[in-house]
Structure 1
Amino acid sequence: MSKIIRPVLFSSYFNISTDILFDNGLIDPFINCDTPLFIDPFLLEKSQNSLIKNQAVNRLKNQFQNIIKFLIQSKKENDAAWKAALRLLNLHEAQVTSLGYGHSGRFGSSRSGNIKITILRVCREIIEVGFEDPELICMMNFFEDGIGVDTISDLTTNIIFDDLAEITKDFCQKYNIPLEKRELFGLNNRFVNCNVNAASQNKCYDLPVLKNGYPIVLVPKDIVKVLQSDIDGVISQNYYIRDAINRYWGNVTKLTIANKKAAIKRSTFEDVHNFETLLKSLKNFARAYNPSEDEYCFYKIKEIFQYDPIVFKNNKTYQINNISDVMSVVKDTIHFFKDHIENKNLWEALWNGDQPKMERASQILYYAMADSFCRANNIDISPEADMGRGPVDFKFSQGFDAKVLVEMKLSTGNVVHGYKKQLEHYKKAAQTEAAFYVIMDYGNNNFDKKLQEIYKIKNDLITQDQRASDIIVIDACKKKSASKI
């Protein structure tokens, strides 16, 4: 999985305020890494952007209608109609939007042709049952393991790319951001300079371009959602799916995503009307990522990257010569984060009302604070973060030998296992013994008992002359306002 190092915002690169993008209904993307948000085709009709709500929606439906039309005409796989449908399924990773799984390169790669074939086969099965609504293609990630929201997102992005490019062009012209002509070329969706004199059949787009020659396309913020699947919400809304799960597998809480998808597929195929119910449910359930709730702190970290560097400056001078120096820097970043959580109201970013946000929120927030701290204090190391499908983990390194890991967990989770097993696994993989285990304390009743057990594990390791990871607890509980203290 690619690592994210020192991200740069579109707004910073082109010297405009991130608030301008927000007020225009657009995401302020990182230009050198991706944010794990994905375009949901069911959100297009709900968008406040008129171009998306009308033109993009029609473009998407027309493309899907053509795919279904060819599948209906097809008599067998690999005949002319089948191949025509296959050509219309562009699942190439749409890197120009800077959304997705945190790739460090700005060119995506095409997905396996097997995924395209699987999509067409499932579509054909559904058509044979008697359901021919073109939007059935948007439902594929609820039927097949290996087809996720990222697959459907890239398919959607590639279809509505012209509309996203037009939105980007209009915004940049409005705020005097320079544009250059770029031509989308070849199967790998690579961009090249437009040769207006050549007889090219590819379109030219006016887009903002980075110094490396790669363009960026802006995306409305009300058509994206997080990776988290809507499967559980769909199951809770549909009695026939819940009934199928009870009949086939039993307790839904113990099922894998693959099991849940299999149950949805099996129950839906029992009756053509179930497809209509499922499609309606998916449309109703679709919700864009909410900036005001900011469940994963994506908007908060962009705000942090806009802060004056003086906020992160201290009075130390750092010299990084060995592992002890790296440990000292990492410890300072954690205590800097701890101070802002416990004493300077940053805890507010970790709560939605009376509910703590996801674990990833605190992890991403720490990443932004640590990165900004290193930049402001002229420290030539920076946290690497894996923002992909799995947990977020952090590594600070200077050369091959000086590596320090940071593992962050919520007190509400299995923190004992995290310290005893998970962190040790990460250390072994990174070939280092230096690590910090940070626990975000949200005030749950049995945390003291868990903490005692963790410290016992640490003390036992020290007694056995083994290296034990440092433990830092951060009080992330809701605080009273100054007027109520």
Structure 2
Amino acid sequence: MKIYFTDFFNIECSKLEDYGAFNISLINDLPLFIDPFLLFGSKKSEYKELHNQILKYLVFLKDKSEIGVTNIGEIRSWYLFPEVKQNWFGYSKVGNGGSGLGEKFAKSFSSSMHIVFDDLGKEKITQSSHLEKACLFEIGVGKDNISDFTTNLTKEFLLDYTQEFAVRNVDEKLLRKVNVDKVYFDYELERWMPKEYVLPFIFNDYVILTPRDILTKDDNWINSNDLRGDFRSICNSISNDQLKHEINNYFTKSLPKHAGNKRNTQKEISLAVIETVKKYPEIIKYYVKLKEENKEGAKKISTKKVQETESKFITQVQKFVETLLEKTDFYSIDKNGSYEEAKKRLLFLKDVIENNDGYRLFYINHQPIKREEDLQIIYRLTWFATDYDVNRESNNGRGPVDYSISKGSNDKTLIEFKLASNSKLKQNLEKQVEIYEKANKTKDSIKVILYFDIPEYNKVIKILKELKIDKSPNIILIDAGRKKSASNVK
């Protein structure tokens, strides 16, 4: 069964590991991205140079912003980038398609350059400037934007890196000469230029490899969550006593006053932080300074996150497919309709998880998975070998359903995956899939609920009885709790 780069291109995993590249899935995006801080904090000269190239491009953009670039054509040329889907990282629940950087980001970023990077190239408090500062101001820039921007600005390095490995290790029949658009920026012509490469080629597209040591998960090292969460300690690190007093005073006054010494909510605190940062943007520099002083912490945390991702979405999925699913009829089911096939496969999945040690797929470091997004990706990686379309539904104005299994426009089954621990489980079961059914013009839907212990099971049963759907054949409960060894069962 082929799921990962090494599978499709017949490469020994050890070769890719020795090269330092991540073994991407060519079935589905995995939730990792390049953190530009890891380039800055690296001891490798090529990574440091990559960070310098990012800053050089930011200087170019800032110079243009200061003279008032309003031409929409120039903004599109310099700020708009497609998602580099060929690296197979990102937030797509099915496949590897993403939205990339659109006009909203471009206009927002362009108009805010002079605020975000006011000391670009002239830093006094921090060691360097950082692209991630853009997501610390309320200008419509999030971690996904930073990820797409970083990948595009390091694209030439990634293509060179991939070509070097591919030419040495991949069968030439699986390679193709490709003319890649927007590879490097020509500062004289002020435009992005194409370049030709010999790259691994599959599914009518080329593939890009990425070094493991520049990847992270969840958040950049410099991120708005840490800024808000550590705000008090950041303020206390400011050496200028007058500025420190003014900031703390403004922040305190920004917090709503409640009767009876009632504590402020997290939302109220976050809003007060945002207002204070707008008033005193110098705070950002002191926050970045603290982050710069802990480069090793950034590396250790990112390494741990990458290892956990490999364990969750590669090592355990491979073992699950090879030692359990392939020994059943899971991949040979061929029913007359999408509903029958979907349900049959889900029942096979349930049996493997509950009775054949498949539950181990859902544990990392002895802890059960906490995110439904992870559950959905794992499901997709195990479903791949079928001639049915397995698609992430587009948003029909009602929000996206987890999966749509279909064969033609008249045969579609919706599958909704939920964890029993979800605080909105009852609300979802009561309304969500029914709404999706109307939006997608299908009557067939299956709700799958994964639980890990007796309290979670009791919670689900109570909800199902309250909603009078506890006898529904379209609801499948899967017990992913730890099982005792057969030798210990009496």
The TM tier, using the shorter chain, reads 0.7 to 0.9
Deviation at 1:75, TM superposition (A): 4.6
SS in 1 for 2:178: strand
Structure 1 partner of 2:213: 222
Structure 1 partner of 2:32: 37
The correspondence of residues 329-344 of structure 1 with structure 2, limited to 5 A, is: 329-344=341-356
With 266-275 and 311-320 compared, the bigger mean Cα shift is at: 311-320
**Structure 1 residues 41 and 386: CA distance shift in structure 2, 3 A:** farther
1:182 lines up with 2:189 in the alignment: no
SS in 2 for 1:185: strand
**Structure 1 residues 21 and 399: CA distance shift in structure 2, 3 A:** same
Pick from 86, 103, 109: which aligns with 1:96? Answer: 86
**What amino acid does structure 2 have at the position aligned with 1:410?**
L
**Structure 1 residues 330 and 69: CA distance shift in structure 2, 3 A:** closer
> C-alpha separation between the residues in 1 aligned to 2:254 and 2:121?
24
Which fold has the larger relative contact order, with Cα–Cα distance below 8 Å and residues 6 or more apart in sequence? Answer: 1
**Structure 1 residues 391 and 211: CA distance shift in structure 2, 3 A:** closer
Structure 2 partner of 1:346: 358
> C-alpha separation between the residues in 2 aligned to 1:315 and 1:187?
43
Structure 2 partner of 1:364: 377
- Residues 436 and 470, structure 1, Cα contact 8 Å, conserved in 2: yes
Structure 1 partner of 2:195: 203
Deviation at 1:83, TM superposition (A): 10
The correspondence of residues 32-111 of structure 1 with structure 2, limited to 5 A, is: 34-45=29-40, 53-68=44-59, 71=62, 75-78=66-69, 89=79, 91-102=81-92, 111=101
**What amino acid does structure 2 have at the position aligned with 1:147?**
V
> C-alpha separation between the residues in 1 aligned to 2:343 and 2:332?
15
> C-alpha separation between the residues in 2 aligned to 1:317 and 1:95?
30
**Structure 1 residues 84 and 413: CA distance shift in structure 2, 3 A:** closer
> C-alpha separation between the residues in 1 aligned to 2:330 and 2:459?
38
Scaled by the length of structure 1, the TM-score of the pair is 0.75
SS in 2 for 1:163: helix
Structure 2 partner of 1:25: 20
- Residues 9 and 302, structure 1, Cα contact 8 Å, conserved in 2: no
Structure 1 partner of 2:312: 297
SS in 2 for 1:401: coil
> C-alpha separation between the residues in 1 aligned to 2:468 and 2:82?
47
Structure 1 partner of 2:7: 12
**What amino acid does structure 2 have at the position aligned with 1:383?**
V
> C-alpha separation between the residues in 2 aligned to 1:75 and 1:315?
60
Identical-pair percentage: 24
Give a deviation string over 1:129-154, Cα, whole Å, max 9, x none.
89954634222123235322222122
Deviation at 1:218, TM superposition (A): 0.4
**What amino acid does structure 1 have at the position aligned with 2:480?**
A
The correspondence of residues 379-390 of structure 1 with structure 2, limited to 5 A, is: 380-385=387-392
1:232 lines up with 2:225 in the alignment: yes
Structure 2 partner of 1:138: 132
Deviation at 1:392, TM superposition (A): 6.7
Give a deviation string over 1:151-193, Cα, whole Å, max 9, x none.
212221222222212221222233244344333336999xxxx
Deviation at 1:408, TM superposition (A): 1.6
> C-alpha separation between the residues in 2 aligned to 1:60 and 1:115?
21
**Structure 1 residues 240 and 397: CA distance shift in structure 2, 3 A:** same
SS in 1 for 2:216: strand
SS in 2 for 1:278: helix
- Residues 126 and 132, structure 1, Cα contact 8 Å, conserved in 2: no
> C-alpha separation between the residues in 2 aligned to 1:34 and 1:299?
12
The correspondence of residues 367-446 of structure 1 with structure 2, limited to 5 A, is: 367-372=380-385, 375=386, 380-385=387-392, 393-414=402-423, 415-443=425-453, 445=455
**What amino acid does structure 1 have at the position aligned with 2:314?**
Y
> C-alpha separation between the residues in 2 aligned to 1:458 and 1:340?
28
**Structure 1 residues 136 and 253: CA distance shift in structure 2, 3 A:** farther
- Residues 37 and 224, structure 1, Cα contact 8 Å, conserved in 2: yes
Deviation at 1:277, TM superposition (A): 1.9
**Structure 1 residues 435 and 106: CA distance shift in structure 2, 3 A:** closer
Pick from 337, 340, 361: which aligns with 1:328? Answer: 340
Deviation at 1:445, TM superposition (A): 2.8
Structure 2 partner of 1:480: 484
> C-alpha separation between the residues in 2 aligned to 1:120 and 1:366?
40
- Aligned length in residues: 446
